[in-house]
Structure 1
């Protein structure tokens, strides 16, 4: 009955979330159903297990949600994201329209800009570029996914994405874990995705396929759609309702002022991770007042938080006169972080209750006994949980909460570098999370004026197939050569 209860809880969570019900309601309800079927104390699991898991996630990662959303909102309101995207598309032009959209998305998201901010800036530009290049509208979502939601989310070393931050406290790693493997995985995702998109664009031209009807959606229309908003906030780190708040700059910044904060994110993140934090005396962290922790457990989050903080200061300083309502913009950015953070924390709380069920031991043993060693087992676990939750960050945290210490112990036994576990876990979380019920997928299709029927096959190829190929390559290379 315990395993049946877990499955019923998952069915409730997945089915009703796809219909637009709030994860804030569904996650505790599904957890309580699982506890009820297992004959476990329901109220105790709600207050002691569910809330403890959710609170621990917020305690570790809310600073990154807050700073990431604030940075994204400032970049959007100042016009910096639009300037960068226009600069990239102008440089490459309509003859390389697909590449222009992909690289523009990659540039802003690797620099720390929130995904939904990038969606609403890139979609109108992609529409004009694809129309002038006679490329069908149906390829717009896949091009944006490739640039914003694949290698810059999970593979590029140093990316400030929340997914890249989640394994750090579990494995004592940095945002730059396994940089060589990350670059190889990025090249596979980018190369395969561009090949597929150019292949489809060429076939469409030969067949005389037109650009197609429809229009991009505005942030106002998305904010008014409660179903889309609920799906979106459980999948990513920015509440799209806040895109309509704050007064936008009347004039756009130049490319230097627009791009400087992105450079600051990368440089500060690198400096903190590799040079500054390792040289600090942080022995005080072992004291009970600081939680008896270590630098390896908190250093990665400190690095990303420092990088985003420096970038926020930079974007405000570079655009102070172009931000007519700075307080309102910063309030909107802060507010944009709350619902996504609590939604993902609720998914983590659900995972904590499931992991506490006696029946979960059978599931854990099955996952750990998968052939191929801990890398294969970890890849499978993160894939499955990201697919079930429709959230890379939620699925990844659930997997590591339940199994992270076991993987770490096994890695220590066989001399496996934790950096390799980090990179496999992050890439694994960014594959099957892009199933049709994923909030980011649903939102992007709405923004681009496309449908699942028209565009989802191409999203699968660039967002799932390409990522799985990269994951297989990293697992194979890591098993033979270790982390590099």
Structure 2
């Protein structure tokens, strides 16, 4: 084996292992990137750190910090105002306790698709999920998989218009919008939702047949303060979410195409590259302002809510930026050319090799957004050229890449998986099997399904 490839593999294995052990990627990534560089002849260590790792990490923050920041603030306001809980309760109430799994999946999906951070959703919905699962006598061990299906899969990567970062990262690279390839996205979303729900319902039926109920769990659910600070009405709670989805679509579809943006050439960019992110920024900003106006009396401390939202955006973006820096150091090594050749030699359309490389890198980093960013940085230009040569739309590339990044990312060392299990009071042994099926195996099947449709030219 080439010594450089050996160094890359060693650093990747160490990254997965130590991340699984709970060590922060922020400091792991630069150290392990330099370990990989040690095995590559002719590589200058300090230059790799300051000019490659730090430059690419800073570039990532420059591109995506507004989306992380505004998404976190919006999610925090929806959380502390009780709006997220109001939405979850009305959905679970409509669906009914006899459909506990479906009710929780729908509640989580609406919040995530509306722009509420996946981490915030878990905190907001878990107490409600625990209540309805206990009342329906559904095993508690199914809660993590149920929440994960609604937040870590189709609303994160497939549904057109999703403001989640995993759907928006590709916009500057391809000059697309969050609504790229909507039919492909709906096909992928339907596959994930249908198969995931089928799996969880079968698990519930199997548990009931075996006489297993909710179980004896000392749930540390937060005390209810609804009497002293009642939640807003469901009608009002849905308004900010509708604003995010509708305003984003209207701006990117009707406003920017009719505005003179020739001045952008002075900034070295074009409308095609920035319109998706600009539309998202405006939509989230307006939604935040509206939410603050209509939920003001439900928010105990406005300053604290906004501050906490802003602060909570730092760690996720720094973790992802560190993973991106790591990937770019790997990309700069001479041995990576051999890996790139192997990826590009995968038979079939570039869609297949792009999906495979994106999913693999997401699994290595334990991050869908990190894996997708690295794949775009390392191989994006090549796939754009191949796609244009073969008449494949960049919107199709966007959608395939977004769906593919949500497969292998949820291996056991994924930070969102660890957080979800911790909040639910479950261990990997208790509940990871359902998370694995719903957020890894089924999304990979969905990627295959969308590849078939995209390659056939049917959509």
TM-score (norm 2): 0.96
SS in 1 for 2:313: helix
How far 1:216 sits from its partner (Å)? 4.5
Q: Which moved more, 1:445-454 or 1:355-364?
A: 445-454
Residues 325-340 of structure 1 mapped to structure 2, 5 A cutoff:
325-340=301-316
CA separation in 2, counterparts of 1:19 and 1:283? 50
Residues 209-358 of structure 1 mapped to structure 2, 5 A cutoff:
209-216=212-219, 250-287=229-266, 290=267, 292-358=268-334
The answer to whether structure 1 residue 450 and structure 2 residue 453 are counterparts is: no
CA separation in 1, counterparts of 2:104 and 2:411? 22
**Is the Cα–Cα contact under 8 Å of residues 127 and 222 in structure 2 kept in the other structure?**
no
CA separation in 2, counterparts of 1:319 and 1:106? 22
- Please name the residue that 2:400 is paired with: 424
How far 1:45 sits from its partner (Å)? 0.8
**Relative to structure 1, is the Cα distance of residues 154 and 216 closer, same or farther in structure 2, using a 3 angstrom cutoff?**
farther
CA separation in 1, counterparts of 2:125 and 2:40? 48
- Please name the residue that 1:78 is paired with: 81
How far 1:116 sits from its partner (Å)? 1.3
SS in 2 for 1:339: helix
How far 1:25 sits from its partner (Å)? 0.8
- Please name the residue that 2:347 is paired with: 371
**Relative to structure 1, is the Cα distance of residues 344 and 249 closer, same or farther in structure 2, using a 3 angstrom cutoff?**
farther
How far 1:463 sits from its partner (Å)? 1.3
**Relative to structure 1, is the Cα distance of residues 446 and 218 closer, same or farther in structure 2, using a 3 angstrom cutoff?**
farther
- Please name the residue that 1:186 is paired with: 189
CA separation in 1, counterparts of 2:198 and 2:230? 37
The answer to whether structure 1 residue 47 and structure 2 residue 50 are counterparts is: yes
**Is the Cα–Cα contact under 8 Å of residues 9 and 31 in structure 1 kept in the other structure?**
yes
- CA root-mean-square deviation: 1.6
The answer to whether structure 1 residue 96 and structure 2 residue 99 are counterparts is: yes
**Relative to structure 1, is the Cα distance of residues 70 and 293 closer, same or farther in structure 2, using a 3 angstrom cutoff?**
same
- Please name the residue that 2:457 is paired with: 481
CA separation in 2, counterparts of 1:249 and 1:304? 35
**Relative to structure 1, is the Cα distance of residues 144 and 38 closer, same or farther in structure 2, using a 3 angstrom cutoff?**
same
SS in 2 for 1:252: coil
Unaligned runs of 5+ in 2: none
How far 1:315 sits from its partner (Å)? 0.6
- Please name the residue that 2:416 is paired with: 440
Aligned length: 453
**Is the Cα–Cα contact under 8 Å of residues 269 and 307 in structure 1 kept in the other structure?**
yes
Unaligned runs of 5+ in 1: 221-247
CA separation in 1, counterparts of 2:271 and 2:373? 20
How far 1:332 sits from its partner (Å)? 0.7
* Residue from 67, 72, 78 that aligns with 2:70: 67
CA separation in 2, counterparts of 1:76 and 1:261? 12
**Is the Cα–Cα contact under 8 Å of residues 70 and 334 in structure 1 kept in the other structure?**
yes
